[in-house]
Amino acid sequence: MKQNTCPSFIKATLAVVWKDLTAELRSREIFSAMFIFALLVVVIFNFALELEAGTRASITSGVLWVTFTFAGTIGLNRSMAQEKDRGCMDGLLMAPVDRSAIYLGKMLGNLLFMIAVEIVIIPLFSVLYNVNLINGGLLLVVLLGSIGYSAVGTLLASMSVQTRTRDMLLPILLFPVVIPLIVAAVKASSGYISAMQMEEITPWLNLLIVYDVIFLSVAWMVFDYVVEE
């Protein structure tokens, strides 16, 4: 059902975000699963890749985004699975609000979970890999990459959650779509870590921005049809 007032849309969006955050504060299921998985990936790569300092620095951005990608997928799966298993999604769809507000609320909730994990993992990553990741440009790349990943992932998770094989189906649907995003994020992150010239980094930043705008807009428009049974 479409609502034509901006205040109602914003209020509905914030209500969905607040619902997700409140539920997570009570259960701590999503953040815990994402953080533990991300921590394991970081530690395993740290001990598995016994490389020289220079070589290790060159692969840091790749390992970083592998960590965020897989941890984000776990968060998306658990977030939508909780909605489905508890019957919350049916209640949200029956509410007299614009369904794009439901999508945006879920997307922002998933984005906040990713950011929370990244805030903890990035300093830890810096210590273990002896690479300074507390960099304004790098943090901007992480934010842009997380927005695009959450935008696409929320839409595809809402599709896959309807199936019995949702845990396997989401990565199959999601990873091919986010390849341009991950490549751009890795290249831009590597550029900031290696202190490259902005002329070399800018094209990848532009790709991240364009990806975010396009896929967030598309997901916003088609979410109503995706959740229609």
Please give the pLDDT value at position 229: 55
Which element (helix H / strand E) includes 11? helix 6-27
Q: pLDDT by residue (tens digit) across 140-185?
A: 999 999 999 999 999 998 888 777 777 788 889 899 999 999 999 9
Q: pLDDT by residue (tens digit) across 77-128?
A: 888 777 766 666 666 767 677 778 888 988 999 999 999 999 999 999 988 8
Q: pLDDT by residue (tens digit) across 3-53?
A: 446 778 888 888 888 988 888 888 888 889 899 999 999 888 888 776 565
Cβ-based neighbours of 201, under 8 Å, separated by 6 or more: 137, 187, 188, 191, 192
Nearest CA to 66 out of 167, 128, 149, 155 is that of: 149
Burial of 33 (0-12, 13-18, 19+ CB in 10 A): middle
